[in-house]
Chains A and B, each alone.
Chain A
Amino acid sequence: MLSFMLRRLGTFIPTFIGVSIVSFLFIRLLPGDPILLMAGERGMSDERYAQLMTQFGFDKPLLTQYWDYITGILRGDLGISFKTKRPVWDEFFALFPATLELSLCAIVFAVLLGIPSGIIAAVNRGKWPDQMLMSTALVGYSMPIFWWALLLIILFSGLLGWTPVSGRISLMYFFPTESGFMLIDSLRSGQSGAFASAVQHLILPTIVLGTIPLAVIARQTRSAMLEVLSEDYVRTARAKGLSPLRVNGLHALRNALIPVITVIGLSVGTLMAGAILTETIFSWPGIGKWMVEGIGSRDYTAVQGGLLMIAVIVMVVNLVVDVLYGLINPKIRR
């Protein structure tokens, strides 16, 4: 197990270098000059422009810039954001809990609904529950996120007035952020109604962000279950006289989980991408919204730092998934 994990960590390093290059180049390939954008409409003198170029190190060759960037990363320094003049590292981790909270809720929502739907569809293959669930999943998967979000806002916030339109908590409540997770902080604050308000604010973003992973997980669970249900050991489980719940939910599901947790791991990447849209629509103060703003103002350090951090998170999640394979199915352990 240890050597397995070390080997996986070994593949980490080249991936990390690749991602750092891509994130470094990506923002520089975008047209637009960050220093001119900083100056605004009035522009600036040539001397001032040259001075700022030197200050930010843009006058050096690209390779040197990259070298400075990567050595900075190794020291745990992602640079200073042009816009806010604060370290990117601090900015990122101030906003990251909001995104993490939303992503976790979305993935829990997707898993809790997706896996049972997949099982039900597989067990009733070809019958109406299967057809209903799978066509719903297909609709969910094909729906553009922003449009789906707007539909839900119109229905639940506009017509029914059940949920708030944006933000993480009602303005009535104020308390210092401790963990950065609104659900935890609002509970800790002890203010009555704060937690309920935080939950209400989470509902729509969670559904919107979780819809695509939900559809993917449901379909993947179904197909993995269908394959497993025809296995000999499932017949053995039935031959023992076990209940269908135990046969399908334990004996079959455990074997079907490998491809399912693979897509769960991969959808973490989708969640991060989806968070950018979802956070923008719901004015959710997370890294998605921060990155969009960073791209808008050509905040090189913020965008490349943010991209790198997200990539690292996705890589770590998939590493965890690899380790989970061995825990779920001992045959894979080597």
Chain B
Amino acid sequence: MPLLDVRNLSVDFKTSNGQFRAVDRVDVQVDVGDVLAIVGESGSGKSVSMLAVMGLLPWTASITADSMRFDGLDLATAEPRQRRAIIGKDVAMIFQEPMSSLNPCFTVGFQLREALKAHLPLSRRERQRRAVELLEQVGLPEPERRLNAFPHQLSGGMCQRVMIAMAIACKPKLLIADEPTTALDVTIQAQILELLLELQKNTGMALVLITHDMGVVAETARRVSVQYAGQKVEEQEVQALFANPHHPYTSALLAALPERATTRRLPSIPGVVPGQFDRPAGCLFSPRCAFADDRCRQVNPAMAAAELGHARCHYPLIQGIPQREVS
């Protein structure tokens, strides 16, 4: 049984213009010790589905799912108290903006010890010692001194290290990292990713990495789930995905990687992600797809078989060639 098992998850936001579907019938499975990357551009619902798992969505969101289980607990029906006992302990999350994710009014030490206090029966002195240990573990120099620092006295990279220390404080079984490097300098990005992977290897926790950076995916993940406009369009093992993408969107994303460019100008995907009011009737990617025909524009495609990466496409690609006769 997977550690995290989410089936048919949809998230709708109440807006002043009516309902907006941010996540559309998405499945997520994460096994113990797995590393899953969720990729997609901004607004593809990749963060929202994970925030739904954590129960961190604002009050305007409504969540429906066939099943949302973590480590045997049904998150959809659990009491808030039961849920809080797991959140922050067995499943933890770090966010995109490390500087604003730490509370400016409290010291780093206070926020770190608080995470320990919430879930573990440790004495004050043990918490202090563990806090120092955690900062060492995430590679912050002079941990004792850093504990007394306020977040605004630290750099973005240091703040993200503190966030990671806080997230792994209670040795979680699953760590969700929501674009952990987006707000950081390029040199720091690599360090933070390395740290996350090292921690994953050493502790054996599962890692969900939300990103829009295909380069990051190639370096880190074992499995990749590609999201587009709130839908999961494809999921494959990382090597297989890079070698043989089955969904035209994945294929176009990979073609846009600078490393793969063969022409002087980088290839790009024409058009933009559909918004609340211009969602196409058929396949959501059809207006931008190089292979779309009338059927694509009118009929919403179902998911293809596992060997075709569950691609949500009428004509999944094999080695870049659409399989017109498959269905």
In the complex, are the beta carbons of B104 and A239 less than 8 A apart? no
For the residues of B in contact with A, the DSSP-based class is: mixed
Let me know if B58 and A331 touch, CB within 8 A: no
What per-residue 1/0 map shows which CB atoms of A235-248 lie under 8 Å from chain B? 11111111100000
A15 located at the interface, meaning its Cβ lies under 8 Å from any Cβ of chain B in the complex:
no
Question: Quick one: given A239-B54, A239-B88, A241-B86, are A232 and B118 in contact (CB under 8 Å)?
Answer: no
Closest beta carbon of chain A to B83's beta carbon, Å: 8
B114 and A242: CB pair below 8 A? yes
A241–B104 CB distance below 8 A: no
Task: Mark interface residues in B154-173 (1 if CB within 8 Å of A CB, else 0).
Answer: 00000000010010000000
Contacts of B166 on A, CB cut-off 8 Å? 236, 240
Does B201 lie at the interface of the complex (its beta carbon under 8 Å from any beta carbon of A)? no
Q: Flag if A329 contacts B104 (CB, 8 Å).
A: yes
Q: Does chain B have a CB within 8 A of A255? A: yes
Residue of A233, A328, A330 ringed by the most chain B CB atoms within 10 A: A233
Q: Output the nearest chain A residue to B54 by Cβ-Cβ distance.
A: A239
Contact indicator A236/B95 (Cβ below 8 Å): yes
Verify B89–A331 contact, CB threshold 8 A.
no
**Residues A243-301 near B (CB distance < 8 A):** 243, 251, 254-255
**Contact residues, B84-129 vs A (CB, 8 A):** 84-89, 92-93, 95, 97, 100-106, 114-115, 118-119
**In the bound complex, CA of A206 to CA of B89 (Å):** 47
B318 at the A interface (CB under 8 A): no
19 residue pairs A–B, Cβ–Cβ below 8 Å: A231-B100, A232-B101, A233-B104, A235-B101, A239-B87, A239-B88, A240-B87, A240-B88, A241-B83, A241-B88, A241-B89, A241-B119, A242-B84, A242-B88, A242-B114, A254-B105, A255-B105, A328-B105, A331-B152
- For residue A45, CB closer than 8 A to chain B, the reply is no
- Chain B's closest residue to A124 (CB) is B59
Question: With contacts A232-B95, A330-B150, A331-B152 known, is A238 near B101, CB below 8 A?
Answer: no
- CB neighbours of B118 from chain A (8 A): 240-242
| A255 surroundings in chain B (CB, below 8 A) | 103-105
Q: How many residues of A contact B (CB 8 A)?
A: 21
Are A232 and B89 within 8 A (Cβ)?
Answer: no
Q: Closest B-chain residue to A235, C-beta based?
A: B56
Residue of A at shortest CB range from B104? A331
Alpha-carbon separation in the docked complex, A230 to B59 (Å):
11
Which of the residues A125, A236, A242, A329 comes within 8 Å of B163, measured between beta carbons? A236
Could you tell me the distance between the alpha carbons of A235 and B86 in the complex, rounded to whole angstroms?
A: 16
Assembly CA distance A254 to B87 (angstroms): 23
Contact partners of A236 in chain B: CB under 8 A: 95, 101-103, 163, 166
Which size bracket describes the interface of B in this complex? 20 to 34
B106 cross-chain contacts in A, Cβ below 8 A: 251, 254
**Does A232 lie within 8 Å of B115, measured CB to CB?**
no
Give 7 closest A-B pairs by Cβ, nearest first: A241-B88, A240-B88, A233-B103, A241-B87, A232-B100, A241-B84, A232-B101
Chain B contacts of A240 at CB under 8 A? 87-88, 114-115, 118, 166
Contacts of B105 in A (CB 8 A): 251, 254-255, 328-331
> In the assembly, what is the distance between CA of A230 and CA of B95, in Å?
14
Query: Which residues on the A side are within 8 Å of B83 (C-beta)?
Result: 241
Residue from A237, A254, A255 with most neighbouring chain B CB atoms (10 Å): A237
Please name all residues of chain A whose beta carbon is closer than 8 Å to the beta carbon of B115 when the two chains form the complex.
240
Q: Give CA–CA (A67, B114) in the complex, Å.
A: 60
**Given that A242-B88, A242-B118, A254-B105 are known contacts, is A232 also in contact with B150, CB under 8 Å in the complex?**
no
Task: Give the distance in Å from the alpha carbon of A240 to the alpha carbon of B88 in the complex.
Answer: 4
In the assembled complex, the CB of A95 is this many whole angstroms from the nearest CB of chain B, namely 40
Residue on A nearest B89 in the bound complex, by CB: A241
Q: Chain A residue with minimal CB distance to B95?
A: A232
Q: How far is the CB of B184 from chain A (nearest CB, A)?
A: 15
B residues near A328, Cβ cutoff 8 Å: 105
- A251's nearest neighbour on chain B, judged by CB, is B103
Question: Would you list which residues of chain A between 108 and 133 have a CB under 8 Å from chain B?
Answer: 125
Give Cα A167–Cα B11 distance, bound, in whole angstroms. Answer: 62
The residue of chain A having its C-beta at the shortest distance from the C-beta of B92 within the complex is A239
Q: How far is the CA of A240 from the CA of B97 in the complex (A)?
A: 16
Nearest CB in chain B: distance from A102 CB, A: 33
Q: How far is the CA of A35 from the CA of B43 in the complex (A)?
A: 79
Bound-state Cα–Cα, A330 to B97, Å? 20
- Contacting residues, chain A, for B119 (C-beta < 8 A): 241
Q: Which B residue sits closest to A244, measured CB to CB?
A: B80
Compute how far the CA of A271 lies from the CA of B189 in the bound complex, rounded to whole angstroms.
54
Distance in angstroms between the alpha carbons of A11 and B114 in the assembled complex: 41
Q: Which residue of B lies closest to A252 (CB)?
A: B103
Q: Is the CB of A235 within 8 A of B95?
A: yes
- Name B38-91 residues within 8 Å CB distance of A: 54-56, 58-59, 83-89
A125 to B14, CA, bound (A): 14
Query: In the docked arrangement, what's the CA distance between A254 and B56, Å?
Result: 21
CA–CA, A235 to B88, complex, Å? Answer: 12
Least Cβ distance of A261 to chain B in Å? 13
Looking at the assembled complex, report how far the CB atom of A324 sits from the nearest CB atom of chain B, in whole angstroms. 13
Name the residue of chain A whose CB is nearest to the CB of B87. Answer: A241
- Shortest C-beta distance, A306 to chain B (Å), equals 39
Q: A233-B102, A235-B101, A239-B92 are known contacts; what are 19 more A-B pairs with Cβ within 8 Å?
A: A232-B97, A232-B100, A232-B101, A233-B100, A235-B56, A236-B95, A236-B101, A239-B88, A240-B87, A241-B86, A241-B118, A242-B88, A242-B114, A255-B103, A255-B104, A328-B105, A329-B105, A331-B105, A331-B152
Residues of B within 8 A of A239 (CB): 54, 56, 87-88, 92-93
Closest chain-A Cβ to B301's Cβ sits at a distance in Å of 35
Specify which chain A residues have a CB less than 8 angstroms from the CB of B95 in the assembled complex. Answer: 232, 235-236
CA of A242 to CA of B92 in the docked complex: distance in angstroms? 12
Quote the shortest CB–CB distance from B122 to chain A (angstroms): 15
> Among B87, B101, B103, B106, which residue has the most Cβ atoms of chain A within 10 A?
B103
